[in-house]
A and B are shown apart, each in its own frame.
Chain A
């Protein structure tokens, strides 16, 4: 699932797609988990000439993928990536969907099984504005967390620091990290406080 409501929006306007595309060399084989209507994959195909598949469980989003000419496989990622072979992709991407999955560890393991490298992006729940919302007595609602608490598809609420601790525990190597504020500007200082959306390039520890 891709909880961004404007998932059909013009890919050019999605700075997060551009961030991910920077990490994808041309011509790669890519797997996009929770691919929504396939906009990211289509963007990567058009800008980077990648091949590969999207995985999506929601029927309407699967239809969106087909309309976008994106090869989508409708299966439930929570059950693993059965049918996808070891090391069969250069990059496996999960773009703003990990927080909507229950089996976080299993999914990360599966991604690292089928892909040489993994790209993860997620909204940082410890971002300044989110902390402010909690301090003011409310669950945060923002561009990167666009849902009210009673309708959110998100089921795992974690921070940049939490995620890095999980990677350490699982022996996952963090190869690169980028954080952006809610204006889409890169953040250098204290990313757990100043980063609204974070991106990781991950690999199996060598």
Chain B
């Protein structure tokens, strides 16, 4: 069996939810849509469903391609497919664009049914917990009483963790990768700089840029450039770019001189071309707010007392954004609660973004854990 078999051409689906969703902030959405994709077949017992949660820039398009365009490859295609570690011959895999996203689910770019205008900045702040609540509505619709597993990296891992707390009976395994039980002050600080880049862009128009037909491109670019620095390790950046000069000589100006600048500008431009600024603000805020211990006097032990899932927690040695120490906080709270948990600290040079790569040991661990899950 080839390891490189793809799920092939895929088509997103849309689900409409007509009853209101009460949000953690106290606001509510009268109705909402979620776009999602599925890969593999739901078995008769409906026991083989796996939810893949996306992080900041991901979407419901986890695996496969649209049409036959290789440029549209899903963001976690190296993990999900027939014969791959998250094997679609065994599992029914679901990817969903989170509420407030900009890939088709109801979000700031959608039309507010109460005003007939785009939500823009009026879209309510949604949290990780709200995403999970919305995902649970989708599970209801698909006839999934309990996920065999919920898996995610970074912000996606936070959703897996939140699932285990919010719906302990509806998740059998939580795979929490390169994640944290809450952001550190440094993490929040990076998010704040990224937000300020957007908020101070003259094209932001207090969040109602879409109505004016403009995009706060420079703010989005800058936000992504800052983010991207934190996703890579110092070593990897050094290895990839070093101090390599773009033109082979110094030109004594502020254009792209060093290769790393070119890379960051490219990443920024690419991101600003497809991502919505309000979604970016909201998602970074959702990250900031995430802290299951907050409602339990700061005790993660108490927050996880409700969890019933078995856990796989993994971190990456060079990830300084969500360091191994942050994953160990989750592990320690699970040990306190006597939950079943396996924890791996993976040696990988690529920093936070390691979770998206196909490091052989990392994928072997995921394959082994997922193979042992009864579908």
Contacts and interface: CB of A to CB of B under 8 A. Distances in A.
Contacts of B331: 73, 83
A57 B148 CA distance: 28
B342 to A, nearest CB: 5
Contact of B341 (A69, A73, A85): A73
Given A65-B342, A66-B342, A71-B340, A85 B365 contact: no
B336 interface: yes
Interface in B341-375: 341-347, 361, 364-365, 368-369, 371-372
Interface residues of B, number: 22
Contacts of B346: 59
Contacts of A69: 372
Report the contact-size class of chain A (Cβ under 8 Å from the partner): 20 to 34
A81 to B, nearest CB: 10
Nearest to B329: A83
A72 B343 contact: yes
A115 to B, nearest CB: 14
A59 B344 CA distance: 8
B335 A66 contact: no
Contact of B343 (A51, A73, A82): A73
Given A67-B368, A69-B372, A62 B344 contact: yes
A73 B342 contact: yes
A75 B332 CA distance: 12
A53 interface: yes
Interface string B26-37: 000000000000
Nearest to B336: A85
A74 B364 contact: no
A53 B340 CA distance: 8
A167 interface: no
A92 to B, nearest CB: 13
Interface in A48-66: 51, 53, 59, 62-63, 65-66
A149 interface: no
Contact of B361 (A59, A71, A75, A84): A59
B269 to A, nearest CB: 38
Given A62-B365, A83-B331, A74 B372 contact: no
Contacts of B336: 85
Interface of B: 312, 328, 331-332, 335-336, 338, 340-347, 361, 364-365, 368-369, 371-372
6 contacts: A29-B338, A53-B335, A66-B369, A72-B344, A73-B342, A74-B343
